[in-house]
Structure 1
């Protein structure tokens, strides 16, 4: 059985479409379809059933997943063995929530690419949990550890969040000296029914029941705060990127959350991915510490 056909089979299984697999593999959908048909002829069974939602695995297709992934790991190991002394090269796709993706990973990617010029880093910013089983990314940063799946989970670092507002807003509205004062202010937060992880439910920490402006994106929330639209809970590591934004009641409203690095269990056999995971973890820890230290030292706080 041709490994290249199995590679295409895995791409279709993970994306559930010919076009999605084609984009991932750099080939057109019709070519993907022909290769799947060839593989089905070789095994003597249909591997996919076309449904309104896309291409679903048949029972025969599901049985082929494990041996195909084993072949994939063997191919990766063989590739690494031929370039062991060539440094870290090739593509690394990292999935992350948009706070991490916008405010941490650009600097982390810059430094890793400087250290390893042959490395290509793709940052996938998604307002949901990245699906590693479908290989949406090689590894993912999450705000809580998953409780299902064949995954390797590593705690990265704690990070801090505070209530914040822009100086323009704070200077033109009544002073805030206590939690009770917040009821007279506009709040900015997540769209309640689009909170994909319980760790992101920040509004309850303020004692305010609803927000005037909401978004499923941390970056949009920060831009609304920068525009002077109201107050919101923000990552301390994002504040250095938002001139004029100051923490409010930092001694009364202070949250601590954690980032977790998640990998597919099969990738433990990959020396390259293991080393990249170690470097990524070190870099994220260092960048969170660097940015939070800036906030502590610069006095970005009121009240």
Structure 2
């Protein structure tokens, strides 16, 4: 397959990448705005040209074969080189332009990134930012996002990570709840409804806050930080919440802050191949400069 790869056109690579990332013809067709049948024929022609089967087709979708995995690595390198060349040609030194997609846990996506990204966009009118808030790990190799913010550095894959900032969490409850149910000691927490994550949907051990208080299983649970915060705002019980979210939830007060607190970190994760794309590097530098100060500003309030 090595000789044939050198003769491939970028359009062939685009077709292959779209199907590989979507893991289906229909998803790849949507990404390329093509008819699925047309895309299927092009995949078949590509496999014939290479003399290799690139996908295992099943009712569940298209999975890469070992030959497909090898081509994926080459295709991503070509894609990165083309994106870098386009950045150079578009004169991005005069300002950030184009579309950048960043993935983040929904607490960060809801309470930090909107104002940070708005400030970056205000200084770069040609920039379009998409924030994807999902309570799971992002697959940067499949280009679900150009970069991601995570609560743990990655341990596998061709990824680079940079410590972004620390943040703090405390027990919180609404003033109304605390007036009706005063709490004066940490061992009383077990007698109150606790709001937290759905246990089997916790995608990173750093998010298992409830276990830190040795408390009961969460009586009210969601995979969304915003839902947890809103439950607490309504007086439903106690939540271990981000201090940077409190300015957006004025009904909440910290509970026993001198007895219980947590400290966690955010990391900025990028695909290793993207280091040669100046536009992404400059956007990442803006995040590194702005996110810590925004956390500090909100926590101080």
Change (3 A) 1:285 1:44: same
In the alignment, the residues of structure 2 paired with residue 179 and residue 71 of structure 1 have an alpha-carbon distance, to the nearest angstrom, of: 56
Cα distance, 1:86 vs structure 2: 4.4
Report what 2:4 is aligned to: none
In the alignment, the residues of structure 2 paired with residue 273 and residue 111 of structure 1 have an alpha-carbon distance, to the nearest angstrom, of: 16
Gaps of 5+ in 2: 1-7
Q: Give the secondary-structure state (helix, strand or coil) at the position aligned to 1:24.
A: helix
Report what 2:284 is aligned to: 277
Deviations 1:22-68 (A, max 9, x none): 33334443343233233233323332221232111233322322221
Change (3 A) 1:11 1:217: same
Q: Does 1:94 align with 2:107?
A: no
Mapping of residues 1-303 of structure 1, within 5 Å: 1-84=8-91, 85-173=93-181, 175-294=182-301
In the alignment, the residues of structure 1 paired with residue 180 and residue 165 of structure 2 have an alpha-carbon distance, to the nearest angstrom, of: 37
Deviations 1:194-237 (A, max 9, x none): 11111011112223222211111111100100110001100000
Change (3 A) 1:19 1:221: same
In the alignment, the residues of structure 2 paired with residue 30 and residue 225 of structure 1 have an alpha-carbon distance, to the nearest angstrom, of: 50
In the alignment, the residues of structure 1 paired with residue 70 and residue 154 of structure 2 have an alpha-carbon distance, to the nearest angstrom, of: 25
Deviations 1:238-260 (A, max 9, x none): 01001211100001111000000
TM-score between both structures, scaled by the size of structure 2: 0.93
The Cα RMSD (Å) is 1.5
Q: Give the secondary-structure state (helix, strand or coil) at the position aligned to 2:262.
A: strand
Whether the 8 Å CA contact 1:88–1:116 is kept in 2: the answer is: yes
Whether the 8 Å CA contact 2:190–2:216 is kept in 1: the answer is: no
Moved more, 62-71 or 93-102: 62-71
In the alignment, the residues of structure 2 paired with residue 114 and residue 79 of structure 1 have an alpha-carbon distance, to the nearest angstrom, of: 23
TM-score between both structures, scaled by the size of structure 1: 0.92
Change (3 A) 1:89 1:30: farther
